[in-house]
Amino acid sequence: MKKILLYVFALAGMMALSSCSSNEEEQSAGKRPIVFGSVLADVYEGRATLATNLGGSIGIMGYLYTKDSWTGTTETPNFMYKELATSANNTTWTTANGFFWPDDNTKQLRFFAYAPASAFAGSNGVFTTKATQGMPRFLGYTVPTNNAEQVDLMFGESAEYLGTSTGGVTINFHHILSAISFSLSANSAGTIQSIKFKGVPYEGTYSASITGGEWTVSPVPGTGANEYSGGLSAVFLMIPQTLPSTAYLEVAYTDGNSNGHTLTYSLGGITWQMGKKYDYTINIAENTITPTIVAWDTTISSEVEL
């Protein structure tokens, strides 16, 4: 497994002067800066291309609240909200603003993070506001119909940390989509022309939680809406869900004699779990499709050091 060490940090001293106001500088005097670093496992980055970084950007949300009072429903991201951390070399990461531990043993903090930040910052989906109570929710995400534009979305959560903490903070990232791939059986003589998903719900809302989060899927699309097409090498990054009876696969292929055929496979009742990868084996000789769950790294450990 390839891993790369990434650092995300809020700089103090001279390097912080360009991003902090004089008031912030006064408040930071004598306090410890929060420094972010992460270890990244192999992930998908559209069309089955393995990524070696978190996409050049991550976003962080931080909650500050009275010790032992966490409910997950009344708190707001009052400490950090969509704080962007970027890197030119995917090794050293820097936030635009300086953040410091409050040095108060009556307070606690909890962090959520998402990557790559660019995939969460465009017009495809929106986060709940800074004033919204509860853990972050990413509203109205639509799976892009262009397979090359589908991105491996990741989210992470931390435990609670005292305001006087001196050790590192760990954020565990995980894949929040389902990866769907295809392969051709060894006894298949022929060529796959196209693979299409039809009747698959494609829009939903991701709700973060301290145990990993979940998706709420929008109603079943109309006929022909957001049809997903690709070839045998494509990896589709879809919203986790239990598929409705209207969902199915359509595979067009030519056999060994160059005759054209279409194979359909019902997806109704099948569950795609978050962070799982499913491989569908196409057998041209038997005119069948067989699904298999295959390994996909689901946890990315991220350390936040003081």
- Tokens found for residue 103: 């040095």
Whether the per-residue pLDDT at 57 is higher than 80: the answer is: no
Contact assessment for residue 210 and residue 305, using Cβ atoms and an 8 Å cutoff: no
Q: Which of the residue ranges 22-26, 227-231, 296-300 would you say has the lowest mean pLDDT?
A: 22-26
Give the integer Cα–Cα distance in Å for 210 and 139: 18
Q: Which of 20-29, 88-97, 106-115 has the lowest mean pLDDT?
A: 20-29
Q: Among 90, 93, 9, 84, which Cα is nearest to 51's?
A: 90
Q: Is the pTM of this model over 0.85?
A: no
Is the Cβ–Cβ distance between 93 and 36 less than 8 Å?
A: yes
147 neighbors 48 (Cβ within 8 angstroms): no
CB 211 within 8 A of CB 275: no
* Strands in 126-240 per DSSP E: 126-127, 137-142, 154-158, 161-162, 169-175, 178-184, 190-198, 203-207, 214-217, 228-230, 236-238
Does the N-terminal peptide bond of residue 116 adopt cis geometry, omega within 30 degrees of 0? Answer: yes
Longest distance between any two alpha carbons in the chain, whole Å: 78
The Cα-based distances of 180 to 188, 234, 245 in angstroms read: 20, 8, 18
Residue 302 pLDDT greater than 50, yes or no: no
Looking at the chain, the whole-number percentage of residues with pLDDT higher than 90 is 42
Residue 98 CA to residue 79 CA, distance in Å, equals 11
Residue 93's pLDDT band, with cuts at 50, 70 and 90, is: low
